[in-house]
């Protein structure tokens, strides 16, 4: 299994796209006028890990049927759900820069949400490319995925 295959198996998944949208919503919800970058990063990551654990638990229950050993069911659920965590790495980087004072809190949150939007667009495009869709479908898929990031940015602006 090469790096490209591993990357595709982990990041071009329903769980990665869902996790990315969830993570962006968490970042947007946690950030406010009183928060600092550490709080935004810590609470968003902690909340995402809780959602991931719930996802793994649900996957384990579904996979643990018949003669499937519990260890196998857990491993399959972790492997299947790992995209939720992997996808959050890039949008966490601006927040980490905010923790170290390189970016202001507002800039860190804005860049994080921008990265989510771009990453969603790329994931939508690659997912459709992997399924053999034509260029037009890939572009519309990318726009559709990226719109979720745009909606979260708009919601964040409206709330704050």
CB atoms within 10 A of CB 54: 11
- pLDDT, residue 153, reads 81
At residue 8, the pLDDT reads 63
Looking at residue 3, what is its pLDDT?
A: 64
What is the reported pLDDT for 63?
Answer: 84
CA distance 138 to 158: 30
| Long-range CB pairs of 109-115, under 8 A, 24+ apart, other chains included | 109/27, 109/28, 109/31, 109/40, 109/156, 112/24, 112/27, 113/24, 113/27, 113/28, 113/149, 113/152, 113/153, 113/156, 114/149, 114/153, 115/90, 115/91
Helix axes 105-130, 89-99, angle to 10 degrees: 170
Ranges of residues in the chain whose predicted pLDDT is under 70:
1-10, 160
pLDDT at site 10: 64
As a whole number of angstroms, the distance between CA 33 and CA 73 comes to: 43
Q: At residue 13, what are phi and psi to the nearest 5 degrees?
A: -135, 160
Q: What is the rounded distance in angstroms from the CA atom of residue 95 to the CA atom of residue 101?
A: 10
What confidence score (pLDDT) does residue 122 get?
Answer: 93
11: domain range? 3-159
CB atoms near residue 118 (< 10 Å): 15
How many domains does one find in the chain? Answer: 1
Each residue's pLDDT tens digit, 47-85: 999 999 999 999 999 888 878 899 999 999 999 899 999
């Amino acid at each position: 299994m090469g790096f490209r295959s591993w990357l595709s198996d982990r990041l071009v998944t329903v769980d990665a796209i869902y996790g990315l949208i969830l993570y962006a919503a968490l970042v947007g919800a946690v950030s406010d006028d009183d928060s600092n970058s550490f709080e935004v990063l810590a609470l968003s990551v902690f909340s995402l890990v809780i959602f991931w654990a719930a996802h793994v638990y649900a996957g384990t229950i579904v996979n643990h049927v018949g003669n499937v050993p519990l260890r196998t069911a857990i491993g399959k659920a972790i492997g299947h759900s790992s995209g939720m965590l992997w996808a959050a790495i890039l949008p966490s980087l601006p927040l980490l820069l905010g923790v170290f004072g390189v970016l202001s809190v507002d800039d860190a949150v804005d860049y994080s949400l921008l990265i989510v939007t771009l990453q969603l667009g790329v994931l939508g495009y690659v997912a459709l490319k992997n399924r053999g869709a034509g260029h037009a479908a890939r572009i519309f898929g990318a726009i559709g995925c990226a719109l979720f990031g745009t909606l979260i940015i708009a919601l964040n602006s409206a709330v704050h």
